Structure 1
């Protein structure tokens, strides 16, 4: 296992929209503060260890692509996103993933975390997405400023752009304590072979990739390589840009979904992903507070075993 700078910290069926109705207190986070919900968020919370350090993080995070690209000065646009962040945090979520590629998303994350007074509790992850060493350094410094932190938990080379240059900078920053973890990302299956090579050859802490119940190519080589080389895995596109929900429209959850700990289709899809032993955290994106609460609920309770995972995949395939 690679050594790493000391981490911060130690470690029934419901419809998608109906899930949050069970908890009328959910929206009170902004009034009560995060401490009032700490005990509830910890109940049955499933965490996975980051191999590089042993630090444990909840298995459901929050993505911000497309959904958080609003003007931070637009109060009306910010309100539902504030509720998304609050309900995500209340449900035990901690890792928030962004990128300069996502427009205003980094600034929105930073503003909301400050307003909710939870910035110190979040695992802030972003990316570098530009060409040139100096341009990359400037962009990463801006990202930390926009997200409102002195030190980012994780910076990833986005879509492998200028990989060698940025990895050299990031390795130096990790040694200097300017970032805690470093990694690489891609969201296309065509990049899995290249990601596998990087995981096997480069001293990175995280790899971010696309993987879900309908797109399982990562199981062939990439996920095993990450496990074998002590690299944590973030999963993007967990709902295949909404394709999975369109596939199950008007379909009831199977009666046995509760055995997998799933009470909605979103939880069914997310439980499938994070039950793979190589996966550290899935990062669904949403601008809907009720969906955020539904998603993060998948980080609680039980996970399906290997046999049940295959049953879930067969059931989805046969719909």
Structure 2
């Protein structure tokens, strides 16, 4: 409804001005922040109407995908003990379908049912003195996860079913990117052709920036002690997402435990890949694949990236430099995209 309102309102706006104007919007959503920059070449759009449409779209995405809103569509599915098929919205079905695709192509390491493992490892609400979970607790949690075993998505009619009453779905690793794409669709329907939409680091761009140049974004060096740029990439016309293990982790007994859980072992990843950046046609797939490839690590992830034609930049800790030295590796598609820009 918000999009239709915006399109209808455009017919009543004042006549076009000669100079383009830059529109900027920001706020909070999905437990993080959003930032939008758009170039209105006609100078005819109402910034207030556009802000209202953006706000409405973000509210709609949260009402479907948010695990923090107990009334959201996915929260109601998680809370239900039923193992019968449940009718779901086309929007939720689209995200689940994308999650299934990434799950299947990532050796099962992208998994939206990892909630029980994330909970016992304590990420998000962890006390620094909490013990590392025991083997039997990990094994018990493993019995409640496994996207391909637990979830069944049907397209006709649109239904989602879980095989275990206590199973739950967490969409944090893909819904944010979906939200970016939905907001971008609002801008496009308003007639905007030059914009960048960013939510919590996930983004998508179109056209050119306000200076008439390509959109270029700095990829952060995966060092929690600094905020320096490792590499600058051209993201014009692309979605981009970065997943890293260098901000959310804990150390105990001299061992570093990442918040990225390997669903096949029930334990945090142990390889040296610190961050993964993915460029894709949309932010949703970039978001999901960034998490999947970080879980896989550079060695396995690069093979998957080449097989699937994914544009990926891996940043790994240099074996000789500990936490302070890094090495970058890119897939052939990533190199090709950057060479074209």
- TM-score range with shorter-chain normalisation? under 0.3
TM-score by length of 1: 0.27
TM-score by length of 2: 0.25
Which of 1 and 2 has greater Rg? Answer: 2
Greater helix percent: which structure? 1
Greater strand percent: which structure? 2
